[in-house]
Amino acid sequence: MTTVLVTGASGFVGQSLCRAFASSGNRVLAAVRSTARPCPSAETIVVGEINGSTDWQQALQGVDIVVHLAARAHLGSGSNSVRDREFYMAVNAEGTERLARACLSSGVRALLYMSSVKVNGEETFDEPFRPDDAPAPRDHYGESKWWGEQAVQSLCSGKLQWSIVRAPLVYGPGVRANFLRLMCWVDSGWPMPFGSVHNHRSLIYVENLSNLIVRAMQTGKAAGRIFMAADGEDLSTPTLCRRIAEAMGRRVNLWCLPPALLTGAARLTGLSAEMSRLTGSLVVDASATFSCLGWSPAFSAERGIKETVEWYLQTRHKSGGHVQ
C-alpha cells in the first residue's frame, strides 16, 4: 500500500485530496499545524508552522509520496508590502525548500508541489498561459510560489520524482474568498455591473483538481513536469453569474456598464485588483495536462457550480443566512 503525506490537509483543497487518495486505496497522512481541524479521511500528524525550520523527520517516516498544498494564502486586498513578502517567502519559498530537502533525506519517492497560475502572471490577452511560459509573477504571493517551484526543481531533479501543478481559481463546496463573495452578491439580488464584460477565465472544480493530482501521482509520466489545471471550459464573468443564479433558482440582475468605468471606480475605491479579476481575462491551456496524463475532468463546470451553490444554500440555511 502506498503511503501519501498531504500538507495543508485540513484546508479546502486538502480535505478533498485526502478523500480522493483514500478512495484510491492509499494510506493517507494529513500534515496539519494543529488538531483543531482534523481530516476524517486521513491519519493526522501535527507538524506545527511550516517554514524554513519545520522538523519533518517523524512525519516523513515510511512515506512514499508527498503532496505539498500548504501555503501562505493571500493576506488581503492590496497586501504587497515588504512585510507581506517576508510572510509569503517564509512559508511558500523557505518552507517548501525545507520540505524538499527533508524528502530527499527521508527516502520519499515523489513530491508534487501545488503552485499557482500567478507564477505566469495576472491576466491573459491574445494567448493563454502555458507551463513553458517565462514566469512573470506580479505580486509577492506569485513570486513566493515561483521561488517554491525553483526550490523543488533544483533540489529534486535527478534525485526523486517531482511534479508541479499550477491552478487558477479553485471552487467547490467549502470555498471561501472571491467565489463565496460572488455567490453572496448573486444571492442578494443587488445589481451586478458586468453585463458589458466580455472576458474569459479558467477555473477548476476542487474534485477535478484532486482527481488530477491523484492521477499525476499514479503515472510515471508526471515526473519532471509542470501542469496547468482547469475544468476545460472558460467562463466570462456574466456567464458565471448567470450559472450561479440559475443554480440558485433565480435571475441575476446584470447591468451594462462600460468596463473602463468599472476600472476607474475600482481605482478610486482601492479595489483595482478585485475588479481586474472580474473584468479581465485569465485563461490557461491545460491541453498538455489532458494528453500527458490521459486525464479529463470528471465534473463539468456546470455541475461543479451547481454542487458549490447547493453547499452554499445548505450552509446559509443552517447558519441563519450567513456563510463565513
Indicate which residues carry an active-site annotation.
Answer: 141
Short-list 127, 215, 139, 201, CA closest to 167: 201
Query: CB under 8 Å, gap of 24 or more: what pairs does 117-122 form?
Result: 117/166, 117/167, 117/168, 117/202, 117/228, 117/282, 117/284, 118/142, 118/145, 119/145, 119/146, 119/149, 119/166, 120/166, 120/284, 122/276, 122/280, 122/282
Tell me the backbone φ, ψ of residue 29, rounded to 5 degrees: -110, 130
Q: Cell numbers for 219, please give them.
A: 503515472
